[in-house]
Amino acid sequence: RSVFLDNDRDVDKIALNVMKLARKALDHGSAIGIGHPYRETVEALKKTLPQFASMGVTIVPITALLSTAERPE
């Protein structure tokens, strides 16, 4: 994983981690974030995800990061 989003359940801290994840994705071509379905996490995602498109970041399932040879059938 690249960033654990909600180790601290504070909305603003989670939002900072989401943006950190986006920057890592831009710097490295991809990044993996892990989080829980906490209310705070959902709120932080609602605040930050709209910015991703203008940054050129796309959310994809983890399987999209696997090469064709690595994908299970």
Three-class DSSP labels, 3-54? EECCCCCCHHHHHHHHHHHHHHHHHHCCCCEECCCCHHHHHHHHHHHHHHHH
Enumerate the domain spans of the chain. Answer: 3-70
Would you state the pLDDT for residue 73?
Answer: 60
Per-residue pLDDT tens digits of the chain, which is 73 residues long: 789 999 999 999 999 999 999 999 999 999 999 999 999 999 999 999 999 999 999 999 999 988 755 556 6
Would you state the pLDDT for residue 22?
Answer: 97
Would you state the pLDDT for residue 66?
Answer: 86
Would you state the pLDDT for residue 23?
Answer: 97
Would you state the pLDDT for residue 2?
Answer: 85
